[in-house]
Amino acid sequence: MPADLNDYFKKKNGGSGGGDNNNRTPLNMEPPEFLKNLGKKAGILYVLIGLIIIFVLAKPFVIINSGEMGIKATTGKFEPIPMDPGFHLFLPFIQQVFIVDTKVRIMNYSSSEDLGEVTQRGSGIKRNAAISVLDARGLPVSIDLTVQYKLEPSTAPQTIATWGMAWEDKIINPVVRDVTRSVVGKFNAEELPQKRNEIAVNIEDGIRKAIDAQPGQPVELLTVQLREILLPAKIKEQIERVQVAKQEVERTRYEVERTNQEALKRAAEAEGQAKAREINAQGQANAVKIEAEAEAYANKKISESISTPLLNLRQIEVQGKFNEALRENKDAKIFLTPGGSTPNIWVDTKDTQKAVSVSK
């Protein structure tokens, strides 16, 4: 314990004083045991406290989260092997660790009204002005794009050493603008809406080839989306007029086609009715023909069935009926047809007004 403290407690316990002090009971003011040894260990304690302060201020450690990667620089030189997510120690004042984002990042090229939205730090989204392009005739056109990409982890130290922490503004942004201007500049403004898909494919292919051609392949390009093509007001009006004219032509063509279809329908109905009448008439004619052929066939068969013996038999039968009639009317007169064939005619002489013809 320091000497000044010991003297202080001794004076408190037995030091001389006034008359009143001689009558007081001495107090036992011995200090605690740890204070007695404090003087011996104070140096070590001061050293520990100093080390803790230096450790906190220097912070010789770093924690790398998922989706990030650390790049260690020793005396200003980047180490080629990146640091994976986790807890890492390094030497302060000699080494430095740079943390880079390896997650998917988005770079939007938008019209001026979208630039008012402030991008949150660490969100992985960068906003740039829309890409201004001159078409084949020199008319200004604005293109809105969205590019998705990410830093290649294996080559991240080399990329940061070459391009710096602003690598995407030096690699992605110039390539996207140059390729877009090169592709769109080959077309007239009026053709852009009609050839949108072709233009989108050409832009993505061009950007992908340019990124892959960078030394060390620093970036992996994921997708390129053509969101909007902003045309000048006069071009938009002209396109609208052309569209209206085309719609009118299509409407007229549709009306003509519909009229032709209706005419063809009526012609087909008339033709069908005529064919139906023709088929009906043909059917009736065929029916008459079949009936006549049947009757002729029947007459033929009948004529073929008549023979001389049959006629003689019929003659005899008729003659027998006349004989029976003569027995009842003896005054009747009989006229025989030539050849003796039937029918025969007889006349009742009693009634000259009547003539009866009997035939079988």
Residue boundaries of the structural domains of the chain = 3-58, 61-101, 105-231, 233-305, 308-357
Residues 6+ apart with CB under 8 A from 129: 109, 110, 112, 115
3-state secondary structure of 70: strand
The conformational region for residue 76 under phi > 0 = left, psi -120 to 50 = alpha, else beta, is left
Q: Give the phi and the psi of residue 219 in degrees, each rounded to 5.
A: -130, 145
Q: Are 124 and 103 in contact (CB under 8 A)?
A: yes
Of the candidates 157, 16, 14, 192, which has an alpha carbon nearest to the alpha carbon of residue 79?
Answer: 157
For 60-130, strand residue ranges (E) read 61-64, 68-74, 77-78, 86-89, 95-101, 105-110, 125-129
Return the CATH architecture of domain 105-231: 2-Layer Sandwich (3.30)
User: What are the pLDDT tens digits along the chain (360 aa)?
Assistant: 444 445 554 555 554 444 454 555 555 555 555 555 555 566 677 778 877 777 677 678 888 899 888 998 888 888 888 899 999 888 888 888 888 988 999 999 998 655 444 444 557 888 999 999 998 888 899 999 999 999 998 889 999 988 988 898 999 999 999 999 999 999 988 888 889 999 999 999 999 999 999 888 899 999 999 999 888 877 777 777 777 777 878 888 888 888 888 888 888 888 888 888 888 888 888 888 888 888 888 777 777 776 677 667 777 777 777 777 767 766 666 655 555 555 555 555 555 554 444 444
Q: What is the CA radius of gyration of the chain?
A: 63
pLDDT tens-digit series, residues 139-186: 899 999 999 999 998 889 999 988 988 898 999 999 999 999 999 999
Cis amide linkage into residue 85, ω under 30° from 0? no
